[in-house]
Amino acid sequence: MVGMITAIIFIPLLGALAVWVWPQRNCRVIALIFNAISAACAMGLWREFDATGTGMQFVERHAWIPAINAEYLVGVDGLSLLLVLLTSLIVPFAFVAGPTPGGRGFDATMLVMQSALYGTFTAQNFVLWFLFYEMSLIPAFLLIKIWGGENRDRAATKFFLYTFLGSVAMLLSFLGIYFAKGTFDFSALASLGKNGLLTGKLAWFAFAGIFIGLAVKVPLFPFHTWLPDAYQTAPTGVSMILTGVLSKMGVYGFVRLLLPLFPNEIKIIGPWLLVLAVCSIVFAPLAAWAQRDLKRMVAYLSINHLGYCMLALFAVAASPTVTANIDTHAALSGVFMQIFNHGITAAALFYFVGLLEQRRGVRGIRDFGGLMQRTPLLCGWMSVAIFSSLGLPGLNGFIGEFLIFKGAFAITALFTSIAVIGLLVTAIVFVRTMQSLFSGPLAEGCSAFPDLLRREKLVLVPVTLLMFAIGIAPQFMFNIFNMTVVHMTRLFG
């Protein structure tokens, strides 16, 4: 399996090149072929992955820039593999979500972003990781600015400024760490972090820079204001990748970088971090309640669901006392499940909003009504995605949220109890949406709506079956990351 990770990273880049040189009419087919090859490699990685191992596997290490100890160093553990599999699932899902808005240019840019995502989730040296991390920014910016909808220039510029400035802060922090410790290697820095990576003001400056860079990417309140505009303006497939995979880069960075490197600083300001997580959980659905644009509403609810991940991570890392292993294990397992499940569910919700927009030409909540009379299949399948997002037992969303609240409540009952308000408001928002869209008299302009087409069913059936499979028998998912969680539990213990 030597070289498998490198193959996964570079296959989409080869696909982008092939799309450029192939005839325009076949570019989408070529892109999907390279998606399938990447997915096959990811499945091969999963097949050969040792679920009982705790360290990095399939490690590839090559000299790159010896002068600064920068190596080409890639590998996967349970968390990395989970996100590689998520990327392999969401990107082709986004490709088939709708018509190609920009032909070969659009498809090639999407493939470049896919390569950057694979690299971000597998790189184990900061210089390499930061290269892939920034590499994802450029195609995302172009996809919004060139192929976005109304106000795309403003949304793309806002997205670029937020993420770029956050990245600059993170880069400066890591330069400070390198000058103090002489290494960019994640595992070496994590070992040093146990006893305090840095001291004095330098530690706090480094912590703040990395925190801001990652908080923008999640995004965490109050660094979230770029997200609704970007998600609303982006084409449907791009919104699916932004919420399904790109936002996970921030959560991944918190797990891989901030928590292991700065455990002492996190414990000191832990209550404030928990306040930010709770604000993301509570305020985001309140903002969603006020929206009339379906895409913008789903965007705000995405902030809410990622806030659950941050609640559990901060609760575990910031606990002033030694937490019981069972509670830490539950909270971290919930975070990993939520990362994967939110990617599937949120992408599906954006897909359904895209289907409604294709049929009606608009996507305001008040532009629809009585759809159950005309499109019962579309309403039924969309209801499954909504119930998954609500965490209904039997669907994938329930597992992660239950474990997060179970673990976090045992560690910090006060903040977790307040966060439950977010669950209630989210439920109200979704129920109101279902009532407005599906019930009542058939809205004017919806009388000629077609129900789900055959190609749309072929897209939705596998994704929905996966939601049920994870909700009913999630053990195959736990097997991927269980030993990684055990290792992290010992670290925090």
Residue 118's alpha-carbon distances to 84, 123, 132, 429, in angstroms, are 6, 9, 8, 34
**Local structure of 80: helix, strand or coil:** helix
Alpha-carbon distance of 78 to 365, in angstroms, equals 40
Question: Distance between CA 61 and CA 394 in Å, rounded?
Answer: 42
Tokens at 331, concatenated: 């909270």
- 213 burial via Cβ count (<10 Å: 0-12, 13-18, 19+): buried
Residue 460 lies in a domain: yes
Q: What is the pTM of this model?
A: 0.91
In a domain, 6, yes or no: no
Residue 488 lies in a domain: yes
Which string of b and e fits 405-416 if b means at least 16 CB within 10 Å? Answer: bbbbbbbbeebb
Contact 309, 447 (CB under 8 A): no
- Is the residue at 304 inside a domain? yes
Q: What is the pLDDT along the chain (493 residues), one digit of tens a residue?
A: 458 889 999 999 999 898 888 766 677 888 888 989 999 999 989 998 888 877 788 888 888 888 777 888 898 988 899 999 999 999 988 888 766 666 788 888 889 999 999 999 999 888 889 889 888 888 989 888 888 778 888 888 998 888 888 888 888 988 888 888 877 877 888 777 777 777 778 888 888 888 998 998 888 888 888 888 888 888 888 888 988 888 888 899 898 888 888 888 888 888 899 999 999 999 999 999 988 888 889 999 988 888 999 999 898 887 766 566 778 888 888 999 999 999 999 999 999 998 888 888 778 888 887 888 888 888 889 999 999 988 889 899 898 889 999 888 888 888 889 989 988 999 999 999 888 888 878 777 777 788 888 888 888 889 999 999 999 999 988 888 888 888 888 777 5
- How many domains is the chain built from? 1
Residue 159 lies inside a defined structural domain of this protein: no
CA–CA gap between residue 58 and residue 42 (Å, rounded): 12
Range of the domain at 287: 269-493
- Report residue 294 as tokens: 């379906």
Answer yes or no: is 71 within a domain: no
Cα 47 to Cα 10, 365, 466, distances in angstroms? 20, 44, 18
Domain annotation covers residue 327: yes
Q: Is 27 a member of any domain?
A: no
